[in-house]
Structure 1
Amino acid sequence: MVDLTFLTRVDCHLCADALQTVTEVAAGRDVTVTEIDIDTDDDLAAQYGWDVPVVLLNGRQHSFHRVDRDRLSKALDALGA
């Protein structure tokens, strides 16, 4: 099982595009996707600011701003998902 955390914020067009990619790539895999609005957490907001969207795989940053479908797929493959 891979934990994929998707950090986002309201009214973020890059986030909407990235979430669609994440959802498509994660479909049918052993992946748990958790979406977190960074503006609900002061620490996350301070850490990531305007770098959203951010994808974390098992707690480690994989990507930010844009999510490359092939790169994410390969990373999930490498993690056994």
Structure 2
Amino acid sequence: MTTVTIIGKPDCHLCDVAAEIVNAVVAELPDAAAERLEIVERSIADDPALYELWWEKIPVILIDGELHAHWRVSSDRLRDALEEAMK
């Protein structure tokens, strides 16, 4: 199982855009690949440790706990990274 974690906060326009990009990329994946993918959304507003780590970089995208992107998410780069992670 590959996990994509979206770290953001409520009322964050860039966070909403990042989540839309993640969801669009996942929707384009073949069903077999999408079934092996878990999307987790976390908020820095709910977790002081996440706030301390990421407050100035949100939205943050992690793939299996590793930093993939922050601030802006590229759908092409994300697609390539997910395909690589799920090999």
- CA displacement 1:54-74 (0-9 Å, x = unmatched): 000000000000110000000
Q: How many residues align?
A: 81
Q: Normalising by structure 2, report the TM-score.
A: 0.87
Please identify the structure whose Cα radius of gyration is greater: 2
Residue matched to 2:68: 62
Other-structure match for 1:50: 56
> Deviations along 1:17-56, whole A, 9 cap, x unmatched?
1110001112242210000011110011011112110000
Which residue does the alignment assign to 2:25?
Answer: 25
Question: Runs ≥4 in structure 1, deviation > 4 angstroms?
Answer: none
| Identity across the alignment (%) | 33
Name the CA distance, whole Å, in 1 between partners of 2:26 and 2:42.
17
Counterpart of 1:75 (choices 58, 64, 81) is 81
Gaps of 5+ in 2: none
